[in-house]
């Protein structure tokens, strides 16, 4: 029997990956409190999944203003850097490789999560019809409608870019193999990219070039900090409507962005179809294929894959690697299961967010 194409090794910048199976970034809301600090339980969870060719960490806030959900980890304090070191150590000792996903939620937040109880920041003062997950002063937490954001002043944008750079420096100091800039799923960078959420009249809004300016500045700053563009990736969700983002012409927007990214020498472009958030994604596959043609580098495809659809994606040349989210939550030994063609454990939807080991580190392996 010919070997499964997902199990063919691949080079990613300076890294040799033993397979093309990626663990997608997954919010699990299990950082230690106070301080949103990763701990030993998180280290165990990631180390259990070191069979992936590459792990991408859960979305991790680059600054306090970047938080939109209770108990998500950060990478802006020394304590967080020390916490993440336990994670990268355990993953590396288990034979794996891990990138950190750098996250700023922009308007997907609430004063209860913001320093000084301030309004969240966004490209424009337009409230999202979306939810975040707030923590009350007494420590209790619940879902809440996102708040009306404040539009960033033009003079503040350099500070946002600087926060990404500093977070990338912290991630590398914590032992990550690289970083992924989260520009998907309706968070800050996607809010700038998409025409509905970005009504700015300065050089960061209006034209296509202006809407893409912040994400490209962030990519340049992160590459300069990491000093090796092949350790920097980016995640995009063209046509995604999660978190109430809508772009008038995703083909135009994302084709332009990928043309600009062609010259950056990135580790990869990671394209995600957020099918778990609903939506029809009519025309997505066609758009994806045109982006694949536009972009000359490595691409990761993510979105509801089975072992069979993932293998076909590689065989057909549609992507170089495939990322699995829900499947990796429920199957710590997913790469081994794919190798032997074993069944997958079912996902327990009730333990996705928050809590402890249950539904986190206790999913059974085959052996």
Cβ proximity to ligand PHB: between 208 and 347 the closer is: 347
Is residue 257 within 8 Å of residue 264, measured between CB atoms?
no
Cβ proximity to ligand PHB: between 57 and 230 the closer is: 57
Cβ proximity to ligand PHB: between 178 and 314 the closer is: 178
Q: For the chain, how far is it from start to end, CA to CA, in angstroms?
A: 23
| CB of residue 93 to ligand PHB, shortest distance in Å | 27
- Footprint of ligand PHB (CB under 6 A): 27, 59, 69, 184-185
Cβ proximity to ligand PHB: between 27 and 36 the closer is: 27
| CB of residue 182 to ligand PHB, shortest distance in Å | 6
| CB of residue 184 to ligand PHB, shortest distance in Å | 6
Per annotation, catalytic residue among 46, 69, 187, 288: 187
Cβ proximity to ligand PHB: between 160 and 188 the closer is: 188
Active site residue 187: yes
| CB of residue 133 to ligand PHB, shortest distance in Å | 8
| CB of residue 265 to ligand PHB, shortest distance in Å | 24
Tokens 């992936």 correspond to what residue? 52
Cβ proximity to ligand PHB: between 59 and 266 the closer is: 59
Q: Which residues are catalytic?
A: 187
């Amino acid at each position: 029997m010919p070997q499964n194409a997902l199990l063919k090794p691949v080079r990613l910048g300076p890294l040799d990956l033993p397979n093309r199976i990626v663990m997608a970034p997954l919010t699990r809301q299990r950082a230690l409190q106070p301080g949103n600090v990763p701990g030993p339980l998180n280290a165990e969870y990631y180390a259990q999944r070191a069979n992936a060719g590459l792990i991408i960490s859960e979305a991790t806030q680059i600054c306090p203003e970047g938080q939109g959900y209770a108990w998500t980890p950060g990478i802006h304090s020394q304590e967080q850097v020390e916490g993440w070191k336990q994670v990268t150590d355990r993953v590396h000792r288990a034979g794996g490789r891990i990138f950190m996903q750098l996250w700023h939620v922009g308007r997907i937040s609430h004063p209860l999560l913001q320093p000084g109880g301030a309004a969240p920041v966004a490209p424009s003062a337009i409230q999202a019809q979306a939810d975040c997950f707030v923590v009350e002063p007494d420590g209790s937490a619940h879902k809440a409608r996102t708040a009306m954001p404040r539009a960033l002043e033009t003079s503040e944008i350099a500070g946002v870019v600087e926060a990404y750079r500093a977070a990338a420096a912290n991630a590398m100091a914590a032992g990550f193999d690289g970083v992924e800039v989260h520009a998907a799923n309706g968070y800050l960078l996607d809010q700038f990219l998409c025409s509905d959420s970005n009504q700015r009249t300065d050089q960061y809004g209006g034209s296509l070039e202006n809407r893409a300016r912040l994400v490209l500045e962030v990519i340049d700053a992160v590459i300069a900090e990491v000093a090796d563009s092949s350790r920097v990736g980016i995640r995009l969700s063209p046509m995604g409507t999660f978190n109430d983002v809508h772009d008038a012409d995703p083909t135009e927007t994302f084709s332009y962005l990928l043309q600009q990214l062609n010259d950056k020498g990135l580790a990869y472009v990671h394209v995600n179809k957020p099918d778990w958030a609903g939506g029809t994604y009519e025309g997505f596959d066609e758009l994806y294929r045109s982006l694949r043609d536009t972009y000359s580098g490595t691409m990761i495809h993510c979105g509801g894959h089975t072992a069979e659809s993932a293998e076909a994606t590689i065989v057909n040349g549609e992507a170089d690697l495939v990322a699995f989210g829900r499947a990796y939550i429920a199957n710590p030994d997913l790469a081994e299961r794919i190798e032997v063609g074993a069944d997958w454990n079912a996902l327990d939807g009730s333990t996705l967010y928050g809590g402890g080991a249950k539904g986190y580190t206790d999913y059974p392996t085959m052996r």
